[in-house]
Every structure is written in C-alpha cells, then in structure tokens.
Structure 1
Amino acid sequence: MYYRKFLPPPHLLSYIECFYIWETDFLHNPILVESPPSGFCSMVFNYQQSYQVISAKHQSQFISTPQSFITGQATKSYQLQLQGQIGMVGVVFKPSAIASVFGLPMYEFVDERHDLRAVLGKEIETIEAKIQDCVSHTKRIEVLSNYFSFKLLRAELKNTRIDYAANLIGEQNGLVNLSELIDDMFVCRRQFERQFLVKVGVSPKYYARVRKISHLCKVIASKRWNIDDWQELIFQNGYYDQAHFIKEFKSFTGKSPSFYLKNNIELAHFLDS
C-alpha cells in the first residue's frame, strides 16, 4: 500500500489542507477498512479502479464510487471495501473552502459522494483526462494544483468570519467555546449558524463534536492507548465524565471505546499517517 500527503503551494494553504496519493493492490481477497468522520470535505479522482463504500446514508449496501467525486461532511464512521488495483489522487479542503471556491451549499453533500461531472460539468472531464495521462504522482498533484489555482483566481475570494470560525474549530479539534467565539465576532447567533450550515454542511456544535471524535480516533489508532489511560484521554479531549465520553463515542462509531481499541480497522491505522 502506498499513501503520501502533499502540502499545497502557499497561495492555496488557506483553502486546501493537503493533496494525497493513495494506491493499493488487493487482487484476490477484498479488504474492509473504516474511517471515523474527519471534519474535512474532499474531491477524489480515481485513475485506476474505483472502490465501494458504506456511509451513514447507505448502511445496508456498498455503493461504488464514481471516477471522480466530491464528499461532504461525514456524520458517522463509514467503511471502504478495496479490491483490485486502486489508485486515486485527492484534495482535502479546509472546512468551508469548497463552498467558498465553488459556491456549493455543503448541506446537500453530507454523508454523500456525488459525481463531480454532475456537479461541476465538463471541466472535470478535462481534469480526469490530464490525470490519466500523468506518468508520476508529482504531475498529478501539479494538475490539481493548477486547476484550483485557476478557480481561486477567478473567484477573487476573501476570508469571512465563517471561514475563520470553521478553521479555528478544526485546528482546535473541537475544543472551542462556541458562545464566546460568536460573541467575539459580534454576529447574530442565528445568522452565524445558518451561514455555517451552508458553508460547512453541519451546525457549528455538531462540527465541533465531529472534530473531537476525529482527533480521538486518530490518537487511538496511532498510539494504541491502554484501557488504564481513558481518564487522561477523556480529560484531554474535553469530556466531563466517562459516561458522556462513551455515549458520544458510540454515537459516532457504533462501538464502545474498549472494543474499538482492540478491534479497530481504521483507515489511519493502515495508512500510518
């Protein structure tokens, strides 16, 4: 398995978290991996075989991903089934960046993977063709970097208060006092929440919960915490007691923390990233 992240050029840092290349080769038995919600949206371009996914909206069956697709916020853990030669290049966006650059209402993309051709039109066919013709990972990243640089130039964007708030919640892994944040920005709470929903896809409160769980699952997958460390983990991630922590964890992953610790097949564990 090959997985590598690439930082965007400086002029894209306000909008793109990272680019990545992911390649796998499971010619015989398929492998099933899972991922908790991350708090980020993305665009993915498959240049080899596509894979299948079960999300919160399609819990009973695997859905094949389009060749190129956009993903909105995930509200629960989801599963990927990988088989054959998988190759993709992806763009992980800052929480409100897709809405800013492309003018898309992100609440329409929650827990979904929509065909990019249907969303953005024929320009995506050109990008797909360029990616297919690339002979190196660097060239694939360059194609996407040039495309988003062009889109950003045409949009002539300026960061808004919603962008600032969403980025802060993401960077702080959800450990933000939302009431104080709204007061500091001198905005109407109802207006703030409405605009946040459009640009991010979920409410500010729910987004903070997602970022906390995302960070927590990454810690568990990477450090393999012992059961004796739960109290420290709970305190570090802003949960006020163990019962609240367990309830919140189950609501996003469907599993108890102890079961997840012993049996998780999280994507981050496979990728070691």
Structure 2
Amino acid sequence: MVYRKYQPSIALLPFVRCYYVWESHRAMEGALEVHSPPNGLGGMVFNYEDPYQVQDAKGRWEDVPRSFIAGQFTKSYTLRLKGRPGMIGIAFGPAGLANVLGVPMIAFTNLRIELKLVLGSEADQLENRILESKTSQQRITLLEEFLLKQLCKSRLAIDREDYALASIVQQKGMLSISKLSDELCISPRQLRRRFTEKVGVSPKLFSRIKRFNYVSYLSTSASSNWMDIVDEGGYYDQAHFIKDLYDFSGKKPSDFINYYRAMPALIGA
C-alpha cells in the first residue's frame, strides 16, 4: 500500500488542504480495516481501481460509489480495503466545498453522495477522464483544472461564517461561541444556522472536533503526558477529555494512542 499527499496550486490553497493518493500496485492478500475519526474536513473521492467499503451502523459492509462527495463526519467510521484499491481524493477545508461548488454542506453531513447526483453529466466526464489517466500527476492536473473552473463560476464572498471558521481553527476550538457571535455582531442562533449550512455542523460541535484533532495530535507524540494534554487542550478535567476522545474515536485513550501511532505504517504513509 502507498499513501501520498500533494499540495494544491496557490489559487486553491484557501479551499483545498491537499490531494491524496492511496493505492496498491497489486492485489492485497487480505483486507485492511482503517478507523477514521472526524477531522473537520469535506472530501471528494474517485476510485479508479476497486472501491473500498464502509461499515454501517448495523455492522454491514457497503461499497462506496465510484466517485462521491463526503461531508463532515461527526463520529468515527471504519473503512475496509481489499482486492486492488486505488483512489485519489481531495481534502477540502471545512468550508471549501461550499465556497468552490456553491453547495450547502449541511446536505452532506455524515453522508457520501454520488458525484453525478450533485454535478450531473459533468461528474461523468470527470470520472471517465480520471479512470483513463495513467499517473497520479495526470489525475491531479485534471482535478486542478476542474476546481479552478468551478471556482471561476462560483459567487465567492467571504462572510461572517468564514471569519468564525478561521477563529475556531486558529484557536483549536478553545473559544467561547457566545463571545465569537458578539464579535461578529450576530446572534448565537443566526451564527449557528448560517455556520451549519456552510460547514455542515454547528460552531460548537466543530469546535469540539478541532479540539479533539489537536489533542489527538498531542497524544500520539512519544513524549505525551496525560495531564499536560488535558491542560493544553483546555479541558476542565481528564474525564471531559476522555469523553471527547471516546465520542469521536470510539476508543479508550490507551487504545487510541497505540492505534494512531501505528497508523502511518498501517496505511503505507
């Protein structure tokens, strides 16, 4: 298995975190299961080899669409790769999909929606060109051209939700949403409604996810200390930290650390 990330062009940096390629050059002997907690990002994925599977709430495995848009996920999910997987994806910033495609992200929360249901025939054309490409660089070039074209067509306007989003990300989720709404001269209810439409989750939940992402990063460091992590993450006590860790990853702290420290070797990064 090989997992690689690629930087977008300068014009797309405000909206796209990275492109990634995850593939195997030969058929896998068994299946690889990977647990993925919330990361605060949206996505677009194209499977040019065997599509992977995801496990539903009843434990059943389902194939993902050949190409799809993924919204914000609020719980951890498990994916399974088998056969000869090959995919290229776009990791969008929290509001990247809304800004580039002009679609409300609330419609995609906890879902993977087949791309052609959103973009119609344009999705079929892009998918076919991705399938016909022979190299990762050719596929990235196609995605860059597509996104730049979409960006030119979008009615992009930086608004209060973007400011709120930037503040939450900058402060790693450790801020008062009430004070943030005061700064923006907007009621908490209005901020919640508009933010949720653009990002897919409420400001409060998004803040929890970003703080979880930050403490996850801290906890997988070899020199991590529980009390330091709790303090650095702005938690009232260790119990609140453990609750967030379990809510978003489904794992106990020790299991979480052991699993995610081993993740790079597991996925081939």
Q: Is the 8 A contact 1:26 1:82 kept in 2?
A: no
1:62 equivalent in structure 2: 61
- How much does 1:64 deviate? 0.8
Moved more, 205-214 or 21-30: 21-30
Please report the TM-score for the alignment, with normalisation by the length of structure 1. Answer: 0.90
Whether 1:72 and 2:71 are equivalent positions in the alignment is yes
CA deviations over 1:149-191 (Å, ceiling 9, x no partner): 0011011412111122223323433223322222222222211
1:233 equivalent in structure 2: 229
CA RMSD of aligned residues (A): 2.1
219, 226, 239: which one pairs with 1:243? Answer: 239
> Structure 1 121/267 Cα, relative in aligned 2: closer, same or farther at 3 Å?
farther
1:115 equivalent in structure 2: 114
Q: How many pairs are equivalent?
A: 268
Whether 1:15 and 2:15 are equivalent positions in the alignment is yes
Whether 1:252 and 2:212 are equivalent positions in the alignment is no
- How much does 1:109 deviate? 1.4
Distance 1:6 1:154 in 2: 24
> Sequence identity of aligned pairs in percent?
37
> Structure 1 46/272 Cα, relative in aligned 2: closer, same or farther at 3 Å?
closer
CA deviations over 1:3-38 (Å, ceiling 9, x no partner): 121111111111111111111355221011111110
> Structure 1 171/89 Cα, relative in aligned 2: closer, same or farther at 3 Å?
farther
Q: Is the 8 A contact 2:53 2:63 kept in 1?
A: yes
2:204 equivalent in structure 1: 205
Whether 1:262 and 2:230 are equivalent positions in the alignment is no
- How much does 1:267 deviate? 5.0
- How much does 1:225 deviate? 5.5
> Structure 1 131/37 Cα, relative in aligned 2: closer, same or farther at 3 Å?
same
Unmatched tracts of structure 1, length 5 or more: none
Q: Is the 8 A contact 1:35 1:78 kept in 2?
A: yes
1:52 equivalent in structure 2: 53
Q: Secondary structure at the match of 1:28?
A: coil
Distance 2:261 2:64 in 1: 20
> Structure 1 111/188 Cα, relative in aligned 2: closer, same or farther at 3 Å?
same
